[in-house]
Amino acid sequence: MIGIVNYGAGNIFSLTSALSRLGITYGMINSEEEFDQYSHIIIPGVGHAGAAMDKLNKSGLVDKIRSLTKPVLGICVGMQLLTDHSEEGDATLTNIIPLQTKLFDKELGIKIPHMGWNNVEIKNNLLFEGVENQTQFYFVHSYFIEYNPIFGIATADYGLKYSAAVQKENFYGVQFHPEKSGAAGERLLLNFSNLK
């Protein structure tokens, strides 16, 4: 069963709708004790990474999240919260994955935010099992996580190559919204729910 970290920085309706369509049971995590009820954890997030981290700090759940050994998936800003630092609000984040979250540079000749479908280059990883390489996923973001081959399990290109998905041990993150990415996104959520 999936536990969704409910810290007030995620629009979770589309996520819970996707999980329901897939027949995946879920519940909301509001306190440290509730983590034990779930086998898998999702950290959602939309909006401003600095503000989201402030809410997460106020929730008192950060140390518990850092200590988790069960599969964890951060989505969009939830993925960025797993990194060390964000230029958005000059915010120190959880530092679970030692990467930087940076603002896209308008000088690259791109529109910010990056909004819409984009091809994703996939590495061989259980999170993407059954998803074809160069499948399109749906993105909405102005900030990106730098690409690092140690942690990068998928990349996208928007003026530069950046991390579309990352992994460090049991912690996974996706910059795109699987819950808004059709069949491929639903397959990814199903794959996550089956990770050991």
Report CA 189 to chain centroid distance, whole Å: 11
| Residue among 40, 48, 76, 85 flagged as catalytic | 76
Active site residue 177: yes
Between helix 13-21 and helix 182-194 the angle, nearest 10°, is 80
Question: How many Å apart are CA 74 and CA 82, to the nearest integer?
Answer: 7
Active site residue 85: no
Find tokens 């990474």 and name the residue.
49
Q: Is 134 helix (H, G, I), strand (E, B) or coil?
A: coil
Strands (DSSP E) contained in 99-157 are 100-103, 114-122, 135-141, 143-145, 152-157
Structure tokens, 26: 């879920």
- Give buried/exposed letters for 69-106 (b at 16+ CB in 10 A, else e): eebbbbbbbbbbbbbebbebeebebbebbebbbbebee
| Residue among 88, 114, 141, 179 flagged as catalytic | 179
Structure tokens, 160: 């530069």
Which residues are identified as catalytic?
A: 76, 177, 179
